[in-house]
Amino acid sequence: MGNWFQNFVASFNAWFLGRSSVVLCVTTLALGSAHELSPPKVFGGDPQRLELAGMEVVPHQFSARMKWRRPPDPELSARVSMFLRNTSDTVLSIQNPRWNGESGEALVRSGEWAWHDPKSTSGFELPAGALRVVRWNGSKARWGVGNQFEFQWQEGADPGHSQRIELPSPDLRIESAVFFNSPTNVYPTKMIATVRNATTRPAVIRSCRLWLPKSNDTFVDLYPQVLRTDLHAYPESGIVLPGDMAGIELDYDALPLSYAAIEIVIEDQESKRSSSLWAYLRIRPASFDISGGWIASEVEGGQALAQEAYWKTLALMSVNTGQIEEVGGYTDRPEIYAQYPIKRFNRLGDRNRYDTDAMLPSIHAVEFLGEPQYGGGRPVPPQEVYDQLAPYHAWKLPTSVTLSEERTWRYYSGLSDYPHYDAYRVIAPAADAWSSYDRWGGKSIRWGSPLETIGDMTRSLRAQSRPATIAYWSQGAHDGWGGFLSPRRSSPTPDELRSQAWHGLGNGIASLYWFNLSVKSLCKFPDLIDPIARVGREIHLLKDLLERGTSYEYVRLEDANGESPQWDLSSIADRDALLMVANDLAYTINESNRTFQFEARDGEFEFRIPPWLQDATHVYRLDADGSHDVEYDLDASSRKVVIRDRVQVVGIYVLAKEPAHRARIDGRYQARMQYEQSLHFDPAKSAEDLRRLKALPNDR
């Protein structure tokens, strides 16, 4: 009876989906053109059983502002996902799939594609009613937006099928998707997703459906869940205006920590035609984590993390993650580890130990490949990176890859669940050509590069990773940079450190990794302990907005002659508030000590307000000392807020619907200060505490 009923439900769902859910247009759409919607493609066999339910296309890009020793290859391709559904009530065998007559393996071997997913591009069995996501990342322009290809396959003993498919422009797309678990459940119970509309026509979000696997080990086969119309949309109308964004929130009992397809049904407000937007990603609980880097250093007499002075310093700086797995004297001391927990961020190769519900709260991500774009002398091909991460695809843990060179990281797009990049802007080794920037009146320097390129790289990686979130290795206190005779300080100054971190934070990173807060580094640069702690406190105060929000807008302000950058303005929006960040770009060069110099200066900043916050009336400034009043003007009719303030390095502001938002921030600030005081340890302010930290044995 149970099997018969399940089969009936599956057949009914397939029949219902074929009539109620239509999907993304597969015709080319130019930016700014009318977005015409069309139904899905159904093809293959007699009767037709295979449906191209939709496509997700993520175009490649590279920043025009970055300078390189060798220019980027101008050919722009795309990362592509084809969503194929079996509309029949029997298993469908997809054999010998080819693209323009070539297999996925051959296309990677010839350099046409950077990588492919062999689980889908090499042929597969597709169960009745199930969805399979066929993925690849192109290398050549002919696999970019607007181009066509011939998709061919065989089904059983038939002579074969062929379908001409065009790669659509993602002008209307799923921009972001994040998941949250409840305090009592390690599995997510909420999803927040946003839709971006880069067309000239308004659209309306009508419904959303998740496609989920039956188990982690069978994650490749996705099945339709309930079509949800209780979207809790913002704005409430669900309208996505041209050139704007909208969001939805949905609650669930519990979602698997596995891969999923998201289908959001939208309607063209003028023609009333419907279609679906698609995205594919791993479900993982969102948490803005702060890493201290390689903090498990060996010292004389044991591990640094086993020393109270060190773990309290990390707690003061809000560090809750590090490149650790198991640390004797720390992770094996439950009473200490529970009080000062550091999430694991490493290979984590023992599935029986780490891929368990008990361990999930203590894990940030799987990361073990170093910097594959460099690979110890030769770049590791993206397909090799895919192959090394593939064993983790059936796990519950997210994977991460460190990307280092914006010029070529498009080829690594989509390989990991939570990609991150490193880019240090003073004294440290870097991929870009620092002496090629003429940012300071034509003056060329070799000891630093424009700090605002952090924002350029953040926007670049975020756009090429969507809807997944990204993270960033920011420059902290590190003792291993710089030359012996160089007058340049071998770690950033407090202002340089703060500027770099907030260029990433303001442009939408979802975790921050400091490089590299070892005992030796902190003791060498104790003047950075408090600046790092202050950034950590600001992240703590804004944690909800940073986790739930999506990058909304970015604007650069130049001087009156358009020759010198003055400010970078960026914003992040969630349902209840808008985070607005003004980064000062008018810093100068101190040639005597080779550092960047910031001066407090007045600024006037205009930010665009999202439609759902049009009636918001509360604006305040925020820093590590809590919330503050600020001078501002609101114009609801034009959806603009103008802020006037005196800024040192960066100005941080919040527009909120209700005064309770600021009250919650103030309460969080008070709680955080009480926690920091409860540590009874602060080497940034106490000479005795700094002496205790420096008394720890030096790193070996």
Asked if 547 and 658 sit in the same domain, the reply is yes
Asked if 271 and 334 sit in the same domain, the reply is no
Q: What is the pLDDT of residue 30?
A: 26
Asked if 253 and 105 sit in the same domain, the reply is no
- What is the band of 41 on the pLDDT scale with cuts at 50, 70, 90? low
Contact 488, 593 (CB under 8 A): yes
- Beta-bridge partner residues of 538: none
Q: What is the pLDDT of residue 574?
A: 98
Q: What is the pLDDT of residue 298?
A: 80
- Beta-bridge partner residues of 125: 93
- Integer-rounded Cα Rg, in Å, for the chain is 26
Asked if 487 and 634 sit in the same domain, the reply is yes
Average pLDDT, the chain: 92
| Residue 237, domain member (yes or no) | yes
Q: What is the pLDDT of residue 182?
A: 87
Contact 491, 509 (CB under 8 A): no
Residue range 608-635: average pLDDT?
A: 97
pLDDT tens per residue, range 507-534? 999 999 999 999 999 999 999 999 999 9
Longest dimension (CA), the chain: 83
**Rounded to an integer, what distance in angstroms lies between the CA atom of residue 55 and that of residue 504?**
30
pLDDT tens per residue, range 102-129? 999 999 999 999 999 999 999 999 999 9
Asked if 158 and 178 sit in the same domain, the reply is no
Residue range 6-12: average pLDDT?
A: 39
Q: Report in angstroms the alpha-carbon separations of 111 from 5, 263, 364.
A: 48, 31, 33
* Phi and psi at residue 245, to the nearest 5°: -140, 160
Find the range with the poorest average confidence among 36-50, 57-71, 173-187, 280-294. 36-50
* Phi and psi at residue 522, to the nearest 5°: -65, -35
Using alpha carbons only, give the angle 233, 236, 241 rounded to the nearest 5 degrees: 85
Asked if 146 and 85 sit in the same domain, the reply is yes
Asked if 229 and 312 sit in the same domain, the reply is no
Contact 252, 188 (CB under 8 A): yes
Return the percentage of the chain with pLDDT > 90, whole number: 87
Contact 305, 324 (CB under 8 A): yes
- What is the band of 43 on the pLDDT scale with cuts at 50, 70, 90? low
Q: What is the pLDDT of residue 335?
A: 94
Q: Which residue has the tokens 């309460």?
A: 667
Q: Which amino acid does the sequence have at 71?
A: P
**Rounded to an integer, what distance in angstroms lies between the CA atom of residue 627 and that of residue 50?**
56
Q: Has this prediction a pTM greater than 0.75?
A: yes
Q: What is the pLDDT of residue 42?
A: 56
Find the range with the poorest average confidence among 252-266, 473-487, 505-519, 527-541. 473-487
Q: Which amino acid does the sequence have at 378?
A: R
Q: Which domain holds residue 185?
A: 172-282
- Beta-bridge partner residues of 548: none
Burial readout 495-526 (b: 16 or more C-beta within 10 A, e: otherwise): bbbbbbbbbbbbbbbbbbbbbbbbbbbbbbbb
Phi-psi region of 586 (alpha: psi -120 to 50; beta: other; left: phi over 0): alpha
Strands 471-475 and 512-515: parallel
Q: What is the pLDDT of residue 156?
A: 75
pLDDT tens per residue, range 199-234? 999 999 999 999 999 999 999 999 999 999 999 999
Q: What is the pLDDT of residue 190?
A: 98
Q: What six digits make up the tokens of 568? A: 């970078």
pLDDT tens per residue, range 405-429? 999 999 999 999 999 999 999 999 9
Q: Following DSSP, what letter does each residue of 271-296 receive, concatenated?
A: T--EEEEEEEEE--B----EE-SS--
| Residue 459, domain member (yes or no) | yes
Residue range 255-263: average pLDDT?
A: 98
| pLDDT at residue 445 tops 80 | yes
Asked if 113 and 203 sit in the same domain, the reply is no
Top pLDDT among 23 and 68 is at: 68
Closest alpha carbon to 641 in 613, 622, 661: 613
Asked if 417 and 540 sit in the same domain, the reply is yes
Q: What is the pLDDT of residue 183?
A: 85
Asked if 62 and 209 sit in the same domain, the reply is no
Residue range 79-90: average pLDDT?
A: 97
CA 633 to chain CA mean position, Å: 32
Asked if 553 and 459 sit in the same domain, the reply is yes
Q: What six digits make up the tokens of 179? A: 């998941």
Contact 29, 171 (CB under 8 A): yes
CA 496 to chain CA mean position, Å: 23
Asked if 275 and 370 sit in the same domain, the reply is no
Total count of domains within the chain = 3
| Residue 367, domain member (yes or no) | yes
| Residue 589, domain member (yes or no) | yes
| Residue 605, domain member (yes or no) | yes
Q: What is the pLDDT of residue 10?
A: 39
Q: Which residue has the tokens 């993520």?
A: 58
Q: Which of 258, 282, 306 marks a domain boundary?
A: 282
Q: What is the pLDDT of residue 236?
A: 97
Q: Which of 105, 132, 166 marks a domain boundary?
A: 166
| Residue 26, domain member (yes or no) | no
| Residue 623, domain member (yes or no) | yes
3-state secondary structure (DSSP) of residue 145: coil
Q: Which of 239, 254, 282 marks a domain boundary?
A: 282
Q: Is 606 exposed, middle or buried (0-12, 13-18, 19+ CB in 10 A)?
A: middle
- Beta-bridge partner residues of 323: none
Q: What is the CATH number of the domain that holds 242?
A: 2.60.40
SS (H, E, C) 99-139: ECCECHHHHHHCCCEEEECHHHHCCEEECCCCEEEEEEEEC
Residue range 282-303: average pLDDT?
A: 91
| pLDDT at residue 355 tops 60 | yes
| pLDDT at residue 15 tops 50 | no
Residue range 276-302: average pLDDT?
A: 93
Q: What six digits make up the tokens of 404? A: 């280092």
Residue range 563-567: average pLDDT?
A: 94
Q: Which residue has the tokens 């393996």?
A: 105
| Residue 8, domain member (yes or no) | no
**Rounded to an integer, what distance in angstroms lies between the CA atom of residue 534 and that of residue 536?**
5
Residue range 366-390: average pLDDT?
A: 94
**Rounded to an integer, what distance in angstroms lies between the CA atom of residue 264 and that of residue 669?**
38
| pLDDT at residue 37 tops 50 | no
Q: What is the pLDDT of residue 475?
A: 97
Q: What is the pLDDT of residue 377?
A: 77
